[in-house]
Every structure is written in structure tokens, then in C-alpha cells.
Amino acid sequence: MAGHFEALPGGGAAVALDEIEIAILRSLAVQLLELIGPGDEPAEDEDPLAALFAEGPSEPPADPALARLFPEAYASEESEELRAKSAEFRRFTENDLRTRKRTDALAVVHGLDALTPRGDGGAVLKLTAEDSPHWLGALNDLRLTIATRLDITDEDEGGELYRLPDEDPRKPMVMAYLWLGVLQETLIDTLMA
């Protein structure tokens, strides 16, 4: 189980994490929450139906990592009509997407905070079948964010970054990106088992 998720009876998953891995995962999840930003919680007296139709932003985020987490619905550079459709789509979907991404990242933080440390400071994280999709979403968002910061695109998958010398300042982020990939892949495997 060390370093990767394994299936649990009943549809859950478990992974053994050491103290440093727990701290790194928690730190990354908190940074993701800070990047996504706070949610707009509806006031207690606000009509819940009106909150469903609240409009969000119509322009894509300026931060490249946020733009990757909240991509355009249409290739908007092609025409004015597609730009308008993309803005309309974003206006009615981005708030919900942000809420879901925040919920996923919070599930990681809360899951890690609830761990009972073993004698060596590590712990075994056990996810229920209901927790697993939140973790999967957060791991995906973390990898997308790190990939953007490292300029890894879908086409190259960062091949040259994998051979960085140890003294390169990007090396820790590349290692985190690879490790998160293993966690993501093995969690997917447990969900499909």
C-alpha cells in the first residue's frame, strides 16, 4: 500500500502516507483553495432558487493555472459568436465549478486532518466510496495547476522536466507532479475495480 492507493472492501480506497507526504498533500490542497478563492455563500434569507441562477464571471481568469482549471467552453478566438457563447457558458457554470473544486480540495484537507498518526508520524488514509471522487477531483486539479506552473502541456507531458538535475529549483514540483500522478492513477484503478 505504500505510495499508492489500494482498493478496500465495500468500494473504498486506502494509502499509507508518511508524515512528509501528509504535510505536502495538505499544503498543496490549501494552496489550491487559496488559488480558487473563497466562495460566495448565499445569505440566509436569500432565495435558494435565485442563488441557482446567480451569474458568475464572463471573462476567463488571467492566471494561467486558473484558466486551465476553468477553461473556455468554445475556442473563443475563432469568432465573435463563439466568444459570446463561451462568455455566456462561463457566466452560468463557473460558480458551480468553483464550488465543486473547493469542496474537493476541502475533502483532502479534512481527510488529512482527521488521520490518526502511527508511531512513525505516518498514517493510513482510508477513503469511503463517497470520499474517493472528491479526492480524485482534487488530485486532478493539483496536477493541472502544477503542470501549468511547469509549462507542461498535453502534447509533451514534460519529458525534459523528468531529467532535471537535483539542483534545479523546479525539481521538487516535478516530483510532486509525478507523485500526484501515481496517486491519481491508483485511485482511478481502485474505483474501476
- The set of cell numbers assigned to 30 is 490549501
Integer Cα distance of 183 and 187 in angstroms: 6
**Residue 20: all three cell numbers together:** 512528509
Instruction: Please state, rounded to an integer, the average pLDDT across all residues of the chain.
Output: 86
Are the CB atoms for 88 and 72 separated by under 8 Å? no
11 DSSP 8-state letter? S
Instruction: Say which DSSP state 161 is in.
Output: G
For residue 161, what pLDDT band results from cuts at 50, 70 and 90?
confident
User: How does pLDDT run across 129-140, given as a tens digit for each residue?
Assistant: 999 999 999 999
Q: Could you tell me which of 65, 66, 72, 64 has the C-alpha nearest to residue 89?
A: 72
pLDDT tens column, 28-85: 999 999 999 876 555 556 666 665 566 777 788 889 999 899 988 876 566 888 888 8
User: Residue type for 137, please?
Assistant: G
What count of other Cβ atoms lies within 10 Å of the Cβ of residue 111? 20
Give the model's pLDDT for residue 99: 93
Task: Tell whether the torsion through CA atoms of 64, 68, 73 and 77 is positive or negative.
Answer: positive
pTM of the model: 0.86
Confidence of residue 112 (pLDDT cuts 50, 70, 90): very high
* Cβ atoms of residues 138 and 32 within 8 Å: yes
